[in-house]
């Protein structure tokens, strides 16, 4: 199914007062990120009356802020670029990557059902995907890994199709946009950086730039949406078309429970004037928890992520874990045994003009490129800068236990800054003054001068760079094996003239650095479920009518990050499975 060409003309009613107290629906879904929308939209596709509950003003959660890469092996589009992939190969890869850190039966449920979930979206909704010819698994050194086909991503979306509902979708992170709000994906960045080099890039860039500026004149925001905004907008579009029900500014305060059976929720909506509306809504099929996990929980965060400040978290603001608390009170249990309780990325932070804090995840654009290294407080390298962002964040915290490395310093020379940018600084090497003025960016004409500003021993920083430069000239990182896997090399610079696309010497002054912190990008520890996404109690029994998916569900990856999109892919899949089971349950109770 392609985009439906006509725009929506009515705004969906998001007021809780549209419901009578003790009203009944077929399914209640808590949380409107990718996983929650999957459960809600799949249930409406199956003909159910669904209520989607969002505690924030906007829908989308962290999914709307993300690239929305979706790791689902075996899809039709994925097999078109990699027909040799098989479920057995996927299982081998996950067994090696994850092992006994998660239940192999749940991983198999994901492998078996993921392609069906994606096929259902593409056949019955506006959610359409595309695939890249090179998008490797992160642990590409393991047997069963692939270079393409498992990671898919949403096609761009025209926000104008949402009509008056456009403002419901959470805006992207401003620092991930250009020209005052224009969203860009990998294709756009490629062409914008080559705007003056080829006619194809010039014409491509002019088209999207002209559209952006026209949008700013006619609409509340630019309407060419990509990545996470595109995914959420496509799902919202179809959900509204199918008469799905939605309330915002609304929190679930209680689960309506009868013994081992959850059959409703107590909801409270805070109105703009500060007054509150409360309703009890019954659900024939049950309640799906998809509220985003514990990352901003007032006490669980401190217990499960010690030393990681909430100010370093770039995830959605609504992930307070309050809904998860209700599931625990109902008898649910949190999983154990994972590599980490969260997924990580190195982040840099900067105060915005409005007083808020920008938290910028360093995924692939800078730290693994030639001419860039990371050092601790003593000027030593301690990590393979080209490793996955998750393993980088874990390494940062592990190293900090012996040598202060929070913050660490991402160091580059002038050539690298110009070629790749650095964090929030765009490629080109221009417009540095504001970043230098607020100390986001440090600059030194020499390495010794830079070290002085970083409070790092100058002699050690100079020695570290000299040693690294020798590795770069040879193309072999003898200390940390940077640039030795397909994944690492894919994220290097394919145009680099040196022997290794991830290694380049730092010789061109001045030198620059920004501070890096370990930022949690999503919860890995969550509610224990079965293969139908039903929440299990301490005895391993399903709590009837209570489901969990997304980061509310204990990750099937066991705190490991084997490939791009391993949160959204399972989130969509187990949202699909939860809806399938809950709708069947609702139909049996009619």
pLDDT at 114: 98
| Strand, coil or helix: 335 | coil
Beta strands, E only, 524-581: 534-536, 542-548
The reply to whether 422 and 453 lie within a common domain is yes
Q: What is the pLDDT along the chain (590 residues), one digit of tens a residue?
A: 444 569 999 999 999 999 999 999 999 999 999 999 999 999 999 999 999 999 999 999 999 999 999 999 999 999 999 999 999 999 999 999 999 999 999 999 999 999 999 999 999 999 999 999 999 999 999 999 999 999 999 999 999 999 999 999 999 999 989 988 999 998 888 888 888 899 999 999 999 999 999 998 999 899 999 999 999 999 999 999 999 999 999 999 999 999 999 999 999 999 888 899 999 999 999 999 999 999 999 999 999 999 999 999 999 999 999 999 999 999 999 999 999 999 999 999 999 999 999 999 999 999 999 999 999 999 999 999 999 999 999 999 999 999 999 999 999 999 999 999 999 999 998 999 999 999 999 999 999 999 999 999 999 999 999 999 999 999 999 999 999 999 999 999 999 999 999 999 999 999 999 999 999 999 999 999 999 999 999 999 999 999 999 999 999 999 999 999 999 999 999 999 999 999 999 999 87
Alpha-carbon distance 88 to 90, whole Å? Answer: 5
Query: Is there a single domain that holds both residue 213 and residue 349?
Result: no
* Structure token digits, residue 461: 């920083």
Q: Residue 400's closest CA among 274, 287, 306, 479?
A: 306
Alpha carbon separation from 180 to 142, 143, 553 (Å, rounded): 42, 44, 36
What's the confidence (pLDDT) of residue 315? 93
Number of structural domains found in the chain: 3
| Strand ranges in 436-485 using DSSP code E only, listed in sequence order | 442-444
**Residues 538-556: b if buried by 16+ CB within 10 A, e if exposed:** eeeebbbbbbbbbbbbbbb
What pLDDT is stored for residue 402 in this prediction? 97
Name the pTM for this structure: 0.96
Distance from C-alpha of 175 to C-alpha of 216, rounded to nearest angstrom: 18
Q: What gap in Å lies between CA 12 and CA 15, rounded to an integer? A: 9
Give the pLDDT confidence score for residue 196 in this predicted structure: 87
Rounded-to-integer distance, Cα 89 and Cα 95, Å: 10
Residue 175 included in any domain: no
**For residue 174, is it within any domain?**
no
CB 155 within 8 A of CB 109: no
**Are residues 247 and 204 part of one domain?**
no
Domain assignment of residue 164, yes or no: yes
Q: Does one domain contain both 290 and 327? A: yes
Domain range for residue 216?
Answer: 182-220
Domain's final residue, options 473, 490, 520: 520
User: Are residue 516 and residue 544 in the same domain, yes or no?
Assistant: no
Strand 287-289 with 250-258, pairing: unpaired
Residue 176 lies in a domain: no
Q: Is residue 388 part of a domain?
A: yes
Q: Which residues of 305-340 are buried (b: 16+ CB within 10 A; e: fewer)?
A: beebeeebbbbbbbbbbbbbbbbeebbbbbbeebbb
Q: Are residues 6 and 152 in the same domain?
A: yes
For residues 202 and 70, state if they share a domain. no
Upstream peptide bond of 407 is cis (omega within 30 degrees of 0): yes
Last residue of a domain, one of 520, 535, 557: 520
* Spatial contact of 559 and 101, defined as CB atoms under 8 Å apart: yes
> How big is the CA angle at 50 (ends 5 and 317), to the nearest 5 degrees?
85
CATH number of 247's domain: 3.50.50.60
pLDDT at 190: 87
Q: What is the pLDDT of residue 2?
A: 45
pLDDT for the residue numbered 4? 53
User: Three-class SS string for 379-424?
Assistant: CCCCCCCCCCHHHHHHHHHHHHCCCCCCCEEEEEEHHHHHHHCECC
Residue 141 counted as domain residue: yes
Q: Are residues 403 and 505 in the same domain?
A: yes
Domain-located, residue 177: no
Q: What is the reported pLDDT for 589?
A: 84
Q: Are 475 and 554 within one domain?
A: no
CB distance 313 to 296 below 8 Å: yes
Q: Which residues contact 116 (CB under 8 A, 6 or more apart)?
A: 576
CA distance to 252, 282, 327, 466, 530, per residue, from 264 (Å): 10, 4, 12, 64, 21
pLDDT at 5: 66
Q: Say if residue 502 is in the same domain as residue 355.
A: yes
- Shared domain for 209 and 267, answered yes or no, is no
Task: Establish if 152 belongs to a structural domain.
Answer: yes
Picking from 463, 498, 520, the residue at the C-terminal end of a domain is 520
Specify the CATH number for the domain of residue 414: 3.90.700.10
306 and 403, same domain (yes or no) = no
């Amino acid at each position: 199914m392609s985009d439906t060409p006509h725009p929506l003309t009515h705004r969906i009613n998001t007021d809780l007062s549209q419901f009578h107290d003790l009203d009944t629906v077929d399914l209640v879904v808590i949380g409107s990120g990718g996983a929650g929308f999957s459960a809600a939209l799949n249930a409406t596709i199956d003909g159910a009356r669904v209520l989607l509950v969002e505690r924030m003003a906007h829908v989308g959660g962290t999914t709307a802020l993300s690239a929305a890469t979706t790791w689902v092996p075996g899809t039709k589009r994925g097999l078109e670029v990699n027909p040799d992939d098989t479920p057995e190969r996927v299982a081998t890869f996950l067994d090696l990557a994850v092992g006994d850190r998660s239940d192999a039966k749940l991983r198999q449920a994901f492998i078996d059902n993921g392609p069906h979930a994606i096929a259902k979206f593409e056949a019955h909704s506006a959610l359409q995907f595309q695939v890249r010819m090179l998008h490797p698994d992160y642990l590409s050194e393991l047997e069963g890994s692939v270079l393409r086909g498992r990671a898919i991503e949403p096609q761009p979306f025209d926000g104008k199709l949402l009509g008056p509902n456009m403002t419901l979708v959470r805006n992207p992170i401003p620092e991930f946009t250009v020209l005052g709000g224009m969203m860009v994906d990998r294709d756009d960045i490629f062409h914008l950086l080559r705007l003056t080099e080829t006619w194809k890039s010039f014409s491509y860039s002019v088209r999207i730039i002209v559209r952006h500026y026209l949008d700013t004149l006619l609409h509340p925001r630019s309407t060419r949406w990509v990545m996470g905004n595109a995914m959420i907008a496509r799902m919202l579009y179809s959900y509204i078309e199918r008469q799905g029900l939605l309330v915002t500014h609304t929190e679930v305060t209680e689960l309506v429970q009868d013994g081992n059976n959850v059959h409703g929720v107590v909801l409270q909506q805070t109105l703009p004037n500060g007054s509150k509306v409360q309703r009890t809504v019954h659900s024939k099929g049950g309640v799906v928890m998809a509220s985003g996990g514990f990352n901003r929980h007032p006490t669980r965060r401190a217990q499960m992520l010690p030393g990681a400040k909430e100010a370093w978290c770039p995830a959605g603001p609504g992930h307070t874990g309050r809904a998860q608390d209700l599931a625990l009170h109902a008898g649910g249990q949190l999983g154990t045994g994972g590599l980490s309780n969260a997924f990580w990325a190195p982040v840099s932070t900067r105060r915005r003009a409005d007083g808020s804090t920008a938290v910028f995840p360093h995924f692939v654009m800078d730290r693994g490129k030639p001419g860039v290294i990371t050092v601790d407080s003593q000027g030593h390298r301690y990590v393979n800068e080209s490793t996955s962002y998750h393993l980088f964040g874990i390494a940062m915290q592990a190293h900090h236990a012996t040598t202060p490395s929070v913050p660490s310093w991402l160091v580059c020379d002038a050539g690298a800054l110009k070629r790749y940018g650095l964090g929030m600084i765009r490629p080109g090497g221009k417009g540095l003054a504001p970043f230098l003025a607020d100390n986001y960016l440090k600059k030194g004409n020499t390495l010794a001068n830079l070290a002085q500003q970083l409070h790092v021993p100058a002699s050690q920083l100079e020695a570290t760079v000299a040693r690294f430069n020798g590795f770069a000239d040879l193309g072999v990182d003898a200390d940390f094996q940077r640039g030795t896997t397909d994944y690492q090399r894919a994220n290097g610079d394919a145009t680099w003239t040196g022997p290794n696309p991830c290694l380049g010497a730092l010789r061109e002054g001045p030198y620059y650095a920004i501070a890096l912190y370990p930022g949690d990008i999503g919860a890995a520890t969550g509610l224990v479920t079965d293969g139908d996404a039903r929440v299990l109690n301490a005895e391993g029994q399903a709590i009837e009518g209570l489901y969990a998916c997304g980061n509310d569900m204990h990750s099937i990856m066991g705190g490991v990050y084997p490939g791009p999109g391993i949160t959204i892919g399972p989130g969509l899949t187990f949202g699909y499975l939860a809806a399938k089971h809950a709708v069947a349950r609702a139909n049996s109770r009619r």
